[in-house]
Chain A
Amino acid sequence: MIDIEINGIALKAPLGASIIEVADANGISIPRFCYHKKLSIAANCRMCLVEVDKVGKPLPACATPVTANMKVFTQSPKARDAQRAVMEFLLINHPLDCPICDQGGQCELQDNAMTYGQDFSRFDESKRVVVDKDIGPLIATDLTRCIQCTRCVRFGQEIAGLRELGALGRGEKMSIGTFVEQSLVSEISGNIIDLCPVGALTSKPFRFKARPWELNQHASISPHDCLGTNLYIHTRNGDVMRVVPRDNEAINETWLADRDRYSYTALKSPDRLTQPCIKRNGQWQVTDWTTALATAADNLMAINAQHGSDALAMLASPISTSEEFALFAKIAKHLKVTQFDHRIKTQDQRDQTILGHYLSTDTTIVALEDCQVALIVGSHLAQELPLALTRIRKASLQGAVIHALNPAHYEFNCTLSSNVTCAYEQLVTELASIVKAVLLQRPDRGYDALISSLQLKELTPSAAHLKIAEDLLNPSNERKIILLGQLADHHPDAALLRALCLTLNTVANVRYFFITDGANSTGGAIAQHLQNNISKPYATWVNNAVHAYVLLNLEPDVDCAHSGALVKQLKQAECVIAISAFDSAQLRESATILLPAACFTETSGSFANIEGFQQCFAASVAAPGDSRPGWKILRVLGNLLKIAGFDYVSSDDIAQELQAELAQKPLTAAVATIEPLTALLSLNKKCPTESLTLFSDWAIYRGDNIVRRAMPLQQALSQQACGIYMNSATAKQWPTALTLSTIDDRIADHNAFIPAGFAHSTELQQQLFQSLTIKPTHD
């Protein structure tokens, strides 16, 4: 630490820090445009000029490191003069029409011009005009307003790792643009809206809808992925107008994925379910809450009495809140229902009987950027968890060794040591080979039982496997992480993949990070854990004939790994109670009672992120029409089912009870010992190894009922439409009559990929096999 002085105030500053960093840390304001704490220093706007004692010229505070006994003046006549002059130059080419600019009221240029500029202009020549570019459905451009700070360009290059924007031309003619005019593809592109200090880049859906001073700000949490991104919801007159990031260094830093930023556009979807409805004699009738809930409770009790609890099943989407899960699980327990689960997108939970429920990671989100070795298995990380990838990218830039193993050659926007593509059904064998390579290099530890287990016995690790094992065992690599993505989580042999990761965890101290669905799979796991694991994984009872279903926040035809089977079962069920924020034709066909629920912006509750960290949020707006928060619906249902102790007045009551229970019986990270691992690895493989393997996973904006209705995101998704994707060689070998096939050379040989979450995904899977001229050996 060194001593410096800013505006006569004595301060301590770390050596090597820039003047602007020290000033920011001490609450002294210095104007800036190009500087941003998360980006490299460009020092091209000159707005941050300050006077430094004994230096003739004013210096840019963002690019000048502090030195011992430096005396800085940010407000001296010399500094003010310089700042005023820069401001005048910046405004030469900037339109002075703030009233018609979308940024007005939240513009750094406007603010700085008020503080540092003059109230008149000496420039009466004509101003530069730049033609706007169409860069997609999410971001509007008004490039005449650009002040060429290059924050947007640096964001692409440094944070997103995808350089899409550039500074084109030179001097006065310099303008921001893409190479050939095209939409941005980065999954986190919306952040340039926040970064742009002026109104050159603004949110397309929000543009000209509201002024910032009309908005109320509410803290909230994103429901879409397991990081638990912190956000602010901006509302006006009870409507959500936009979503912006809320800083949280431990989770999303200052960023927001596009999915989290734009999903609010679904809230006003015409599909919103706003009234309770009951199907009578095949006809839907609008009803009141009392009737709807009483009918639901009566049906459940009658079927339970008549056919027993095995005739009941309860499914919840992983975007449900912890409070909803808690009540859901309590109702299940009361009715003695064992068929209840939130893991609707997965196919394999065979490890539950051996390991129970545990946290999906034994490390932190921040640790992703500090790791020295990362092995990413079965994950299209850029789409699954865009902000986890920015962390991995940071690690990679610091020299971390990153390996990836996937059924397709996905891009990771950072340097990888290896990016292995293997067939989907080979994922287990490939990972097992790596594990075996690790075990073989540690002959001293007595891992014979493990090595002779079913998955490892016959394998001979290749050079690539040995290299990965070497990186994992290298004593100088202390911080090692294995990430299992959603492709792995949804794999028919997911339990084996997890067991292999836990083996690495046990024998080589590799931390695990199992990406889960939605914002609150952990909340679901906690609810089950607290009910003593009485539930049976959904994958085990998919085809059981059930008389009554309760569905929470999910759409049966697109949200489940076994959607085809579920839709079929629902058709035969006597009673299907769907608690949902959205209506759909499919729901109308399957359900018998529709109960309108609130979305995440309209309810209070909490989400537990992948680390098990519970984050509470309050409702920002009222739910539309008669719809009610999910926990209230479940509470009244519980009352009608005569469950004792169901008198929660607020979601907070439930949260407190949950915390108390959790304190008694916390959900911990998996501690695997050799025995259960050996047992797990001796399970049979399920993944079909026919000559053409189909794999499927949710497209980035098709994963839950909210994003699926966010129109701007759907437009951005256009390059990833529902269809069959195969590489050219495979397509030639397995010609299909279906017109929906697309060549994607990233896909592994003999594999076909169908994105899930579309109305036709399931159908297409069946059609594909029917249309093949040669039939694979598929049952």
Chain B
Amino acid sequence: MSVLSSEVIAQIDQWIQKYPPEQRRSAVLPGLLMAQEANGGWLSADVITAVADYLNIPPIAAFEVASFYSMYELAPIGKHKISVCTNIACQLAGCQTIIEHLEQRCATQLGATSADGQYTLRSVECMGACIHAPMLEVNKQYHENLTLEKVDALLSQLTNEGASS
């Protein structure tokens, strides 16, 4: 079986369509994202190589992209990846307390994964939600105007989801 499933290939193909034929490499951002999603949320060297090969670019070029953006994970991550904005607006609005709280509740550090494999905490740059700072993103959902209570509620919701599924 090839590293990329036919579904992922089909998705990448859709993106390739959006660019001129000689700009096939433009699909590297969405391509890596889709491959990551299909690979349990992280990009292995094999997956990066497969995406690069499919787009006819040198593997190092895809790796540069993967190492540049914070949305790509280069090692296995926890079940829920919580991305907390630490850019200027969120900083002014007190993201630090949110982070400390998250670190304590999830029993891990920013940038790391909890021992039970449930949570990965990430610091990210501005997500364009400054008017409702501070904010975080988890499972493609924005959570804004964060307070410690909101964080608690979110975490118990995530835990429950985990238990019910």
Residues on A lying within 8 angstroms of B by beta carbon are 162-170, 178-180
Contact = CB atoms under 8 A, between A and B. Distances in A.
Contacts of A164: 58, 60
A169 B68 contact: yes
A165 B68 contact: no
Given A163-B60, A166-B61, A166-B63, A179 B45 contact: yes
A178 B60 CA distance: 7
A-B pairs with the 6 shortest C-beta distances? A163-B58, A166-B60, A168-B67, A166-B64, A179-B60, A179-B59
Nearest to A180: B45
A167 B61 CA distance: 9
Nearest to A178: B60
Contact of A170 (B49, B63, B68): B68
A665 B21 CA distance: 57
Nearest to B57: A163
Contacts of A162: 58
Interface in B57-78: 58-61, 63-64, 67-69
Interface residues of B, number: 12
Contacts of B48: 179
Nearest to B62: A179
Contacts of B49: 179
Contacts of B58: 162-164
Contact of A169 (B45, B59, B60, B67): B67
B67 A163 contact: no
Given A179-B45, A180-B45, A168 B61 contact: no
12 contacts: A163-B60, A164-B58, A166-B60, A168-B63, A168-B68, A170-B67, A178-B60, A179-B49, A179-B59, A179-B60, A179-B63, A180-B45
A433 B60 CA distance: 40
B67 A165 contact: no
A170 B63 CA distance: 12
Contacts of A170: 67-69
A730 to B, nearest CB: 25
Interface in B20-59: 45, 48-49, 58-59
B64 A168 contact: yes
A166 B48 CA distance: 14
A169 B63 CA distance: 9
Interface of B: 45, 48-49, 58-61, 63-64, 67-69
Nearest to B60: A166
Nearest to A163: B58
A83 to B, nearest CB: 29
Contact of A163 (B61, B68, B69): B61
Contacts of B69: 170
Contacts of B68: 168-170
B55 to A, nearest CB: 13
Nearest to A161: B58
A321 B67 CA distance: 52
Given A168-B64, A169-B68, A179-B49, 11 more contacts: A163-B60, A164-B58, A165-B60, A166-B63, A167-B64, A168-B63, A169-B67, A170-B67, A178-B60, A179-B63, A180-B45
A167 B64 CA distance: 6
Nearest to B63: A179
A164 B60 CA distance: 6
A501 to B, nearest CB: 33
B46 to A, nearest CB: 10
Nearest to A171: B68
Task: Please indicate which of the listed interface residues B49, B59, B60, B64 has the most CB atoms of chain A within 10 Å of its own CB.
Answer: B60
A166 B65 CA distance: 10
A52 to B, nearest CB: 32
Contacts of A169: 67-68
B4 to A, nearest CB: 17
B70 to A, nearest CB: 9
B43 to A, nearest CB: 12
Nearest to A164: B60
A167 B63 CA distance: 9
Nearest to B66: A168
A433 to B, nearest CB: 30
B142 to A, nearest CB: 23
Contacts of B61: 163, 166
Contacts of B45: 179-180
A164 B64 CA distance: 11
A363 B48 CA distance: 44
Contacts of A165: 60
A265 to B, nearest CB: 29
Nearest to B65: A166
Task: Please indicate which of the listed interface residues A162, A166, A168 has the most CB atoms of chain B within 10 Å of its own CB.
Answer: A166
Nearest to B58: A163
Task: Please indicate which of the listed interface residues A164, A170, A178, A179 has the most CB atoms of chain B within 10 Å of its own CB.
Answer: A179
B60 to A, nearest CB: 4
A255 B123 CA distance: 44
A570 to B, nearest CB: 48
Contacts of B60: 163-166, 178-179
Nearest to B69: A170
Nearest to A169: B67
A393 to B, nearest CB: 15
A169 B67 CA distance: 5
B3 to A, nearest CB: 15
B38 to A, nearest CB: 21
B131 to A, nearest CB: 26
A169 B64 CA distance: 7
Contacts of B64: 166-168
B47 to A, nearest CB: 12
A163 B49 CA distance: 13
A335 B60 CA distance: 61
Nearest to A167: B64
A756 B59 CA distance: 32
A411 to B, nearest CB: 12
A167 B66 CA distance: 11
A168 B48 CA distance: 14
Task: Please indicate which of the listed interface residues B45, B48, B64, B69 has the most CB atoms of chain A within 10 Å of its own CB.
Answer: B64
A178 B58 CA distance: 11
Contacts of A179: 45, 48-49, 59-60, 63
Contacts of B63: 166, 168, 179
A170 B125 CA distance: 12
A179 B67 CA distance: 10
B71 to A, nearest CB: 12
A98 B67 CA distance: 31
A372 to B, nearest CB: 21
A168 B67 CA distance: 6
A52 B137 CA distance: 47
B34 to A, nearest CB: 20
Contacts of A180: 45
A414 B140 CA distance: 41
A141 to B, nearest CB: 15
A162 B69 CA distance: 24
A235 B59 CA distance: 40
A455 to B, nearest CB: 38
B45 to A, nearest CB: 5
Nearest to A170: B68
Contacts of B59: 179
A163 to B, nearest CB: 4
A166 B67 CA distance: 10
Contacts of A167: 64
A166 B60 CA distance: 6
A165 B48 CA distance: 15
Contacts of A168: 63-64, 67-68
B157 to A, nearest CB: 32
Nearest to A162: B58
B160 to A, nearest CB: 36
Contacts of A163: 58, 60-61
